[in-house]
Amino acid sequence: MVRNRTALLLFRLVLGGLFVYAGAIKALEPLDFAQSIRNYDIVGQALSFFAALVLPWLEILAGVFLIAGVWTRGAALVISGLLVFFIALTVVTMVRGLDIDCGCFGAVDRKAGVSVILEDLAMLYLGLCVLCQKGAPAQKGTGALEALE
Partner 1 sequence: MSEARKVLREALILGAAAVLTAAAVRVPLIKRFARGEFRESFFQAGDYPGIRMIALEEAEDLWRAGQTAVLDARAEEAFKRGHVPGARNVPAAGTGGTIPADLLGAARDRTLVVYCEGGDCLSSLILARRLHDEGFRDIRVFGGGWEEWRKAGLPEATAERDGTGKKDDGQE
Rule CB under 8 A: choose which of 17, 24, 32, 84 binds partner 1.
Answer: 32
Distance, first Cα to last Cα, the chain? 24
73 sits near partner 1 (criterion: CB under 8 A):
yes
| Least distance CB 7 / partner 1 (angstroms) | 20
Task: Tell me if 78 contacts partner 1 by CB under 8 A.
Answer: yes
Which residue among 10, 13, 30, 84 contacts partner 1 (CB under 8 A)?
A: 30
Contact string (CB under 8 A) for partner 1, positions 33-62, x = contact: -xxx-xx-x---xx-xx---xxxxxx-xxx
Provide the minimum distance between the beta carbon of 50 and partner 1 in the complex, in angstroms, as a whole number: 8
**Applying CB under 8 A, does 81 fall inside the site for partner 1?**
yes
